[in-house]
Amino acid sequence: MNPQKSSLMSVERVLIDGKWRVSSGSQIFQSVNPATRLPLPREYPVSPWAEVEQAILAAARASRAVRDVPGEVFAKFLERFAERIDARSGEFIATANQETGLPVEPRLKIAELPRTTNQLRQAAAAARDGGWSLPTIDTKTNIRSRLAAIGPVVVFGPNNFPYAFNSAAGGDFAAAVAAGNPVIAKGHSSHPSTTRLFAEEAFEAARETGLPPAFVQLIYRTSHEDGCRLVSHPAIGAIGYTGARATGLVLKEAADRVGKPIYLELSSINPICVLPGVLEERSDELAAEFSTSCLMGTGQFCTNPGMVLLLAGPQTESFVNAVRAKFESAPIGTMLSEGVLRNFESSIQALVAAGAEVLTGGQTGGGNGFSFRNTLLKVTGEKFLLSPHALQTEAFGNSSLFVIAKDEAQMLAVLDALEGNLTGAIYSAKDGQDDTLYSRIEPALRVRVGRLINDKMPTGVAVSPAMNHGGPFPATGHPGFTAVGIPASMRRFAMLQCYDSVRQHRLPPELQDKNPRPGLWRSIDGQWSQADVG
């Protein structure tokens, strides 16, 4: 996927300012089928800065054009977009399967594509309702406020979710659009054809619903320098990024220098605490549940359980051995790309260098294409505490690290040494014998994770209004926001607008005395109400 010089006319077009146009860039790249290690035939451009800036300025014009557009219009766009995706689902599934190696069933067809259209429809419902904007009215001071669109949003999608987090259709896209913002989708180099299909359907849905032609734009790749210029451009409102920590922090530094809000999902090892009582109750069942979760999708989930904390003892040793046996007998999956495989191997080596023992796996190969043997590692609590940072290296793939604490005090010390994570789980006995220990460790884990889980694995992320797919650094760039869960995820891409003594007819409809929509909740003098003012 390294950029190459091109003089060919077969390079795919970028979507800029309402037109599919030939890129002015001189470099191209191709995605690679990870199951065969062979490049796919389509060629894609690396956009130069002049082209990127054209997209930014077009997005700024589109943002001004939709400033007073009601949420109903964005809702119709999102619903029509979802319909168009459903109508073309066969092509989406075949394309993503080639570009990512992810299985057609159940992953792409049964799970991820329906989830993606579902979250588009949920975002549409929130845009139509309008309550996400938290209209607030103080009649005594005649001050009124709401959240409203922040301006053009740049979305960087990851490699591991070609649909649900895609820059031209995923959660950040849906949230940004539902809040009323144009989107510049920066495609991921691992699945550019999948992203192009989404952009084609989004472009047509925008045309059909009367949104500006530049409301959705697509560039596939930029230089690192131009990526930083993109996120720090004065016309950009906000940025959503899901991907590697190192790249995300470079973009964050560029955005922070000019005060641009950037929302990052970076890395997480998602610790699981397994208490002694649960091993007495259902050790074999738990070994199967954990192995399935850890190896699902070749472990390439941001919520993959990458660390398990247990207390030393015979039952723990029996549990570890049972998991090792399941890892050794399970199929070895295909990794998303050569880069993912290379980084995974490097991470395993870093864990071993820090003191972890390889129980099984630890070597490349064994499966189709880019593959690495299912890997299980172990370290004592004492060794973990000597090198806590290195032993929290995220190994993004089919592996996990068992940390064996000698006693409850050491278990607490390990938890106190944890970095921030998206999730943290505690498995405890159903009969209550673990409740005392649970009450001691839960407070330590609670402040280090965005989502606390009991007695289930973290790999599923429901699209629910109550979901938090976020957490303390380095899981994300800010612990107060979520990338999943509507309407909360929409508020990342909004600004708080206050109106002080502004005349009624000049106010946005939701801040006027008369409630503009049945069922719209507004805070009026501290009370949530659906009534008119006074």
pLDDT in tens, 226-266: 999 999 999 999 999 999 999 999 999 999 999 999 999 99
pLDDT at 460: 87
In angstroms, rounded to a whole number, what is the distance separating the alpha carbons of residues 455 and 342?
33
Average pLDDT, the chain: 97
In percent, the amount of the chain with pLDDT more than 90 equals 98
Q: Output b/e per residue, 324-335; b: 16+ Cβ within 10 A.
A: bebbeeeebbbb
Q: Are residues 262 and 284 in the same domain?
A: no
In angstroms, rounded to a whole number, what is the distance separating the alpha carbons of residues 263 and 261?
7
- How large is the average pLDDT for residues 300-326? 98
pLDDT at 155: 98
pLDDT at 534: 86
Print the domain residue range for 189. 11-22+40-128+149-266+483-488
Q: Is the pLDDT of residue 505 over 60?
A: yes
468 within a domain of the structure (yes/no): no
Band the pLDDT of 10: cuts 50, 70, 90.
confident
pLDDT at 355: 98
Which residues are within 8 A (CB) of 360 and not within 5 positions of it... i.e. 6 or more apart? Answer: 324, 327, 328, 373, 374, 375, 376
pLDDT at 2: 64
Task: Give the neighbor-by-neighbor strand order of the sheet with 522-524.
Answer: 494-500, 143-149, 136-138, 522-524, 527-529
- Is pTM beyond 0.85? Reply is yes
Are residues 354 and 307 in contact, defined by beta-carbon separation less than 8 angstroms?
Answer: no
CATH code of 301's domain: 3.40.309.10
Q: Are residues 232 and 326 in the same domain?
A: no
Q: What is the pLDDT of residues 42-70, one digit of tens each?
A: 999 999 999 999 999 999 999 999 999 99
> Which among 51, 79, 112, 302 is annotated as catalytic?
302
> Which among 79, 99, 112, 265 is annotated as catalytic?
265
Q: Are residues 253 and 390 in the same domain?
A: no
Please say if 265 is a catalytic residue.
Answer: yes
145 DSSP β-pair partners: 136, 498
138 within a domain of the structure (yes/no): no
Q: What is the pLDDT of residues 206-231, one digit of tens each?
A: 999 999 999 999 999 999 999 999 99
Q: Is the pLDDT of residue 371 over 70?
A: yes
Q: Are residues 403 and 254 in the same domain?
A: no
Q: Are residues 246 and 276 in the same domain?
A: no
Q: Are residues 207 and 238 in the same domain?
A: yes
Which residues are within 8 A (CB) of 87 and not within 5 positions of it... i.e. 6 or more apart? Answer: none
Q: Are residues 160 and 180 in the same domain?
A: yes
466-473: Cβ within 8 A, 24+ apart: 469/265, 469/422, 470/265, 470/422, 471/268, 471/420, 471/421, 471/422, 471/423, 472/419, 472/420, 472/421, 472/447, 472/448, 473/266, 473/419, 473/420
Band the pLDDT of 187: cuts 50, 70, 90.
very high
Q: Is the pLDDT of residue 8 over 60?
A: no
Q: What is the pLDDT of residues 117-175, one digit of tens each?
A: 999 999 999 999 999 999 999 999 999 999 999 999 999 999 999 999 999 999 999 99
Please give the helix or strand (H or E) that residue 444 lies within, else none: helix 435-446
Helical axes 113-129 vs 171-178, angle rounded to 10°: 20
In angstroms, rounded to a whole number, what is the distance separating the alpha carbons of residues 517 and 395?
49
How far are the Cα atoms of 12, 203, 338, 491 from residue 79, in angstroms, in the given order?
Answer: 27, 13, 36, 20
Q: Are residues 214 and 158 in the same domain?
A: yes
How far are the Cα atoms of 139, 174, 343, 458, 496 from residue 475, in angstroms, in the given order?
Answer: 41, 21, 18, 14, 26
Q: Are residues 400 and 325 in the same domain?
A: yes
Alpha helices by DSSP H, listed for 147-239, are 171-178, 192-208, 224-231
- How large is the average pLDDT for residues 422-428? 98
Question: Would you give the distance in Å from CA 255 to the centre of its chain?
Answer: 19
Q: Is the pLDDT of residue 7 over 60?
A: no
522 within a domain of the structure (yes/no): no
Are residues 28 and 43 in contact, defined by beta-carbon separation less than 8 angstroms?
Answer: yes
Q: Are residues 436 and 352 in the same domain?
A: yes
Q: Are residues 250 and 326 in the same domain?
A: no
pLDDT at 300: 97
DSSP class of residue 510 equals G
In angstroms, rounded to a whole number, what is the distance separating the alpha carbons of residues 308 and 212?
50
317 within a domain of the structure (yes/no): yes
Number of domains in the chain: 2
Q: Are residues 161 and 174 in the same domain?
A: yes
Amino acid occupying residue 334 = T
508 within a domain of the structure (yes/no): no
pLDDT at 122: 98
